[in-house]
Structure 1
Amino acid sequence: MSNQKQLFGTNGVRGVIGETMTPELVLKIGAALGTLRKGRIAVGRDTRTSGEALVHAVKAGLLMVGCDVVDLGVLPTPALQYIVRRHFDGGAVITASHNPPEYNGVKIIDADGTEMSDEDTIAVENLYFSGTFAGSSWDGVGSEVVAHHMVEEYIQGIVDLFPPGIGTGMTVVVDPGSGPAALTTPLILSRMGCRVHTINAQMDGTFPGRLPEPTPEGLAGLSEMVKSLGADYGVAHDGDADRAVFVDDKGQYVEENHEFALITDYVCKQRKGIVVTPVSTSRIIEDVAGANGCSTEYTPVGSIYVARRMLGLIEDGVSVAFGGEGNGGLIYPDHQFCRDGGMTAATMVAVLASRQGEKLSTVLGGLPAYHFIKEKQMTPEPAAIVRAVDAAFPDDRKDRTDGIKIVRDDAWALVRASGTEPMVRIMVESRDKTVAETLYRSIRQVIGTG
């Protein structure tokens, strides 16, 4: 039996359909999950073309080991997590999040609504590889019910966290990217009082308008629509809507760490405690949290590590204000302990309402200025690149929480293996652009592409 994850990455199992991602794989994952978590299991999926086939496979695996299955249909991952936390013993969602259309995957959700811990994920993998699934006789197999209507509970749950009509007078453009947020985010914002327009709001697993990853280039249509309508902001989601990114009133893409900082500032003015975030996040979060009397704690990269650290601190009696990643995936402890793009879209309404008519572009201009470089490089051996960078900077302070982080007073750099694709991610930051670029070039020279 292994004590390391082999199938699951940072956010579930993912692969290319017909190559590494097959119905047989997903069926066995369902059987393994059902063996570990007997009970009522909720399942759902995003809009990918392969989703229907794979959701039937995971249901078959769960049913054959005696679990009862509740099919929630097409919905955002955080909506399924919200529903699981309130009603079920676990969940599985068929999604590849931001990956290209040819990918799909499985995320497994624990009863508390968080992605399953590494320890329990390894237990699922060991069951998968051993094939020692729970057996069920003909009269012991599970049953299935369909409950697509339950997504309404998630929509209204977010709306109820804010004062009625808080968005009155605001115009927002929503780009769900042909994903499941087409069913949720426009309704959430409309119920908050906003006038809502949409782009790419047809659910379509071929993603005709843009790819599932919401990049500045892919959001050109959203930016143009925001400008032409004079909207207050535009919001876009990734493929399963656990993240949200924004364009401001001028149609400019809001860098995700700035989004995180702006919402951290809003949250920490009302709720004191620790802000939990991965080692990949900008120092701007430390600045903003500190200015509001809050502190910052770092984790490995991955929302599950942030969420479980938040839960652990709370169990120890420590106040937690907020959490999230610098990629638009933010976690609200008074809502649920997972990244939630719909909640983030709604919170931006509250941020602007609290600024009494200030434009989003103006509010962002008041944040501390950092120069942040993000890059990625495909490689079959990411661990070797991480080791090479570690060895090339012997005199620097190092943080090995996740990959290798070079920590200097005036800059930091992180090189780590991706948890979802065969690549390394490179991040460099400094207040001084020249300092950041010099450190970045040094790392690129080590990697061999400088």
Structure 2
Amino acid sequence: MTLIKSISGIRGTIGGRTGSNLTPIDAVKFAAAYGTWLKKDRNKEKYRVVVGRDARISGEMIQELVMNTLIGMGIHVIDLGLSTTPTVEVAVPLEHADGGIILTASHNPKQWNALKLLNSKGEFLNGVEGEKILNYADTEDFDFAEVDDLGQKTINEAYIDIHIDEVLALDLVDVGAIKAAKFKVVVDGVNSTGGIAIPRLLEELGVQAVKLYCTPNGEFPHNPEPLKEHLGDICKLVVEENADFGIVVDPDVDRLAFIDEKGEMFGEEYTLVACADYVLGETKGNTVSNLSSSRALRDITRKHGGEYYAAAVGEVNVVDKMKEVDAVIGGEGNGGIIYPSSHYGRDSLVGTALFLTHLAKLKMSVSALKESYPPYFMSKQKIQLTPELDVDDLLKKIADKYANEDISTIDGVKIDFENHWVHLRKSNTEPIIRIYTEASTQEDADRIANEMIHEIKQVAGI
């Protein structure tokens, strides 16, 4: 069982002992630390926090603990109930709130949950803010409200619909073109809140939705990370239904993957590439993705006359870089679309609407669209960490070995070779080292990844 404390929040498995897992006591302590930071940072008389959750089984329990802790600190809570990460992000500024908390462990299996923390803009906290919260949690320096000063709770379950209205109002979302295309789409909502939000969005866009695993009961029917090896059911159903394509989201709906009409993966890396291709064709500008994302975004950006920039892995790092270079679109290669005209957060609803518009205007199949993009193939592997392994020293040894190559160490070690790249980094959310490679064929990407895993094990003596 695991508890991971990081600047982006607290993530752990349900049950077990306090301090080693995400127990009710840990949830209360971290919520109190967030409330303490909020009150010291904002320094005002009244405070408001938006709280929502995905559909995982522990969600309601954790949400009640978190909300009542904030209420006990004199903070007013807006309870969105079942929601999505981007929906909470949209709700924070609309509610003029001081922050937000999403109860979700994103792509992790059902035994996991987490508190994702937002600032008053509905964006993830930066490193300095996150460190302050961790310090408050460690010292337990909390000050709770007296009885007459307790906070209150307001329930507002309309925000998924409000979020959809915001998406439909975006200038580059052409509702008329999408309706005219008469698309038929299969949706895998992994029995979480994507099963609520995505079909509602498609209905408003005139798209026929075939629902697969769209009951928000938290019983994930497959590993919830939207990777090829987990998506056999939707790949089969797209072909059986003669659908135009399939849509897959993770439990909190900030990662988006597509299945083409042949039942083949479009590739989660190409979600951002396709959306950026459309946006850049309408709005000239720059793009940003993280170091573990495909070179295809760089190629598409340059084709449209823009500049591509890389950021460290993590949504807050990508957002910071996007603001710095005034990017018109960005995100992460795991299917996360960040479109500033909507908000600075990964949003599968926005990504779906942009992709549908792109497809409707091009009048081409999803497989043909994929063929039009530069062919890159990635391998995503991982090595389980052991307590005695010094990851920083290990990565330094790898960097030293390849010092003559094009190396970035802003986030782990990325080695850019002429025809491929390798990125090694310690995960922020799991006790693993991630090994990402990209090459011109899948065979080469897999071979390079396996060679690097062997090399890492040799260096580490494992």
Is TM-score (shorter-chain normalized) higher than 0.5?
Answer: yes
CA distance in 2, matches of 1:211, 1:412: 27
2:282 aligned partner = 270
Match among 76, 80, 83 for residue 84 of structure 2? 76
Determine whether 1:297 maps to 2:309.
Answer: yes
- Aligned partner of 2:379 in structure 1 is 373
C-alpha distance 349-432 of structure 1, shift in aligned 2 (>3 A):
closer
Q: What is residue 102 of structure 1 aligned with on the other side?
A: 111
Following superposition, the deviation at residue 56 of structure 1 comes to 1.0
- The residue that corresponds to 2:418 in the other structure is 409
Residue 217 in structure 1 maps to residue 226 in structure 2: no
Residues 110-132 of structure 1: CA distance to partner in whole angstroms, max 9, x if unpaired? 11111111111111111111111
Could you say which residue in structure 1 is the equivalent of 2:368? Answer: 362
- The structural deviation recorded for 1:397 is 2.6
Residues 399, 119 of structure 1: alpha-carbon distance in 2 compared, 3 angstrom cutoff: same
For the residues of structure 1 that align with 2:219 and 2:442, how far apart are their CA atoms?
39
- Residues 1:415 and 1:344: Cα distance change in structure 2 (over 3 Å): same
Q: What is the CA distance between 1:8 and its match in structure 2?
A: 3.6
**What runs of 5+ residues in structure 2 fail to find an aligned partner?**
40-46
Q: Does 1:181 align with 2:194?
A: yes
Q: Is the 8 A contact 2:378 2:446 kept in 1?
A: no
Residues 289 and 72 of structure 1, relative CA distance in 2, 3 Å threshold: same
Structure 2 match to 1:58: 66
Q: CA deviation at 1:96?
A: 0.5
Aligned to 1:3: none
Alpha-carbon distance between aligned partners in 2 of 1:10 and 1:256, rounded to the nearest angstrom: 26
CA distance 1:433–1:329, change in 2 (3 Å): closer
1:246 counterpart letter in structure 2: F
Equivalent residue, structure 1, for 2:175: 164
Q: In the alignment, residue 175 of structure 2 is paired with which amino acid?
A: P
Q: After the TM superposition, which residues 189-228 of structure 1 pair with which residues of structure 2 at under 5 Å, given as runs? A: 189-207=202-220, 209-228=221-240
Separation (CA, whole Å) in 1 of partners of 2:177 and 2:8: 34
Alignment identity in percent?
Answer: 29
Amino acid at match of 2:51: V
Deviates more, 1:144-153 or 1:238-247: 144-153
Shift of 1:433: 6.2
User: 1:212 Cα deviation (Å)?
Assistant: 1.7
Q: How does 1:108-123 map to 2 (within 5 A)?
A: 108-123=117-132
Cα displacement (A) at 1:435: 6.0
* Partner SS for 1:448: helix
TM-score of the superposed pair, with normalisation by structure 1: 0.93
- Cα deviation for residue 65 of structure 1 reads 1.3
Name the stretch that deviates more: 235-244 or 125-134: 125-134
Q: After the TM superposition, which residues 223-262 of structure 1 pair with which residues of structure 2 at under 5 Å, given as runs?
A: 223-262=235-274
8 Å contact from structure 2 (residues 7, 126) kept in 1: no
Matching residue's letter, 1:57: L
Amino acid of the residue matched to residue 319 of structure 1? D
In structure 2, what residue type is equivalent to 1:397?
D
Q: Any idea what the Cα deviations from partners look like across 1:320-342, whole Å, max 9, x if unmatched?
A: 22111110011011011000112
How much is the aligned-residue C-alpha RMSD, in angstroms?
1.9
2:401 aligns with 392
Whole-angstrom distance in 2 between the partners of 1:11 and 1:200: 29
CA distance in 2, matches of 1:212, 1:441: 24
**By how many angstroms is 1:354 displaced?**
1.6
Write the distance in 2 (CA, Å) between the matches of 1:129 and 1:94.
21
Aligned to 1:32: 33
TM-score (norm 2): 0.90
Q: Give the letter aligned to residue 337 of structure 2.
A: L
Q: 1:27 to 1:434 in 2, by over 3 A?
A: closer
Report how far residue 403 of structure 1 moved. 0.3
Measure, in 2, the Cα distance between the counterparts of 1:363 and 1:231. 16
Alignment counterpart, residue 90 of structure 1, candidates 78, 95, 99: 99
- The SS at the match of 2:175 is coil
Give the SS at the match of 1:414: strand
Describe the shift of the 1:65–1:210 C-alpha distance in structure 2 as closer, same or farther (beyond 3 A).
same
Deviation of residue 384 (structure 1)?
Answer: 4.5
SS at match of 2:342: coil
Provide closer, same or farther for how the CA distance between residues 139 and 275 of structure 1 changes in structure 2, counting only shifts above 3 A: same
8 Å contact from structure 1 (residues 78, 241) kept in 2: yes
What amino acid is aligned across from residue 98 of structure 2 in structure 1? D
Instruction: Note closer, same or farther for the CA distance 1:10–1:236 as it changes in structure 2 (3 Å cut).
Output: farther
CA distance in 2, matches of 1:334, 1:344: 12
Shift of 1:163: 2.8
Give the aligned length: 438
Deviation at 1:308, TM superposition (A): 2.4
Q: Is the 8 A contact 2:193 2:216 kept in 1?
A: yes
1:15 and 2:26 are equivalent in the alignment: no
